[in-house]
Structure 1
Amino acid sequence: MYLAPIIYAAVSSLSTIRRSGLGLTAPTKVFDPLGNYTRALHDDAFIGSLGRVALFGVVQVPVMLGLALGLALLLDAKSARGKGFFRLAGFLPYAVPGVSAALIWSFMYSPLSSPVNRLLAHAGVTMPFFGSDVVLWSVANIVTWSWAGYNTIIIYAALQSIPAEVLEAARVDGAGAFRTAWSIKVPAVRGALVLTTVFSVIGSAQLFNEPAVLQPVSAGSISSAFTPIMSAQSAVAAGNYPYAAAQSVILALLVGVVSITFFKITGRRESA
């Protein structure tokens, strides 16, 4: 179930689609191991989508996980009240399907119906949510809203595994709440942070639902190749399955390299 699609995509990517000059005959597949990969690496739209997703991950993932860590620490604080309510409230956005969340936020972003811009209008300010320089962060806001609570629960669960004796010893030694959080709690949830970071990086590479839903109302700022998955989907829609497979293989390899490198770096730090 796992290997068959990967093998099929890798094999498909080794062929190219050839059409006759007049296009009157059915297209044929020709074995060309490097053809699709060469085309993909020279495709400005596809390379641009990789760079866009990389920028998205570099900015959005740390912001989201920093927010999740902060919320988890607040929930774990001894003085916190209503923990059950806030855990449920933080997790609820994750329970909303990604497409539904994007539809909700498209209403919030729309120039015609945005309540945010209606409020800002009183101050003479308008937020161009679908501006070419802003739309990526509009998408990032939706992803952060959807996944921050989910990551909060994972980190909070890791915080619950810290022995009470360790926290009590820190309190007896005179460590305040901030010192305890920084010196004991954060190092104790390093494994959870590594796990959520890798999952978030993979999720960033798979970005599709949110920009795809926003595309029709984005006034052209979200193209059909806005993300690598959208670019591959466009190739599928054009009937060029081998080229879409090549794009998918390139994306998978890049994500694999980043994930393995991150695991090695964090593993060395823990060993040190």
Structure 2
Amino acid sequence: MTPRIGAARAAEVAALIAAAAAAEIWPRFRNLAAGEVRTKTGPHDVVTAADEAAERAIGTALARMFPGVPVVGEEAAAADPALLARVGAAETVFVCDPVDGTANFAAGMPLFGSMLALIRHGEPVAAWIHDPVLKDTAIALRGEGAWVEGADGSRHDLRVADPVPVARMVGAISHRYLPPELAARVRPRLGALGAGWELRCAAHEWRLGASGRLHALFYWRLYPWDHAPGVLLHAEAGGYARRLDGQPYHAGVHAGGLLAAPDRAGWEALREALFGEGGGQG
């Protein structure tokens, strides 16, 4: 089944994400019991009761709204890794990160978001990034633009920043998961940018990129629930994102680097500045 989603339907999906966040995420913020936080793959990879409860709530609501369309959540995929392998090949699938920036959430830092994308044959066609703190949602539909809808019904369109030279770019560059040899090459080059930081929250980094407040974004690890929503949001806001080999984003590719800039020329200059000859492929 391939659902068609227009602006009105997209607003309904945004409302269900907001409802799940209000019921399952916000009441637990700075209110987690000791047993409601645990580690997954390592000490810096945590999951909370809010992640799990919100993922269940969003999945249940989507199943009612779009019967027959599978939903793959980050926490479900952590329990069953085979789910991740099915995302790229699925005709249509929702992917969900109920609390992106869980480390921030667990630490009591109000910088986290809920991410959702509808993927068709590996390509995102609809995207939502909800801010449970400010209670607004960034939405994108392929070919129809990107915008933010507020809880009060207000709406404003999103647009990436104007192109600038690399030396004036402000970037969110995530280099934590780079292979050691590539990390040794890239980290000394980060000073080529005008400024840079990592928010530990792809949801807000992609929103900042799509709203013109960041020029550059880079990620090595490419789980679809972390990046499919942001890639579409950024593209519909006028931006240019490609894997380091120059190929478009595909939800079936989970590593190898993804770089975003306001336009293609800026992307090429940024790749050269950060990775040099070979663009990080050699």
- TM-score, normalised relative to structure 1: 0.27
**Which structure shows the higher strand fraction?**
2
Report which of the two structures shows the higher radius of gyration computed on alpha carbons.
1
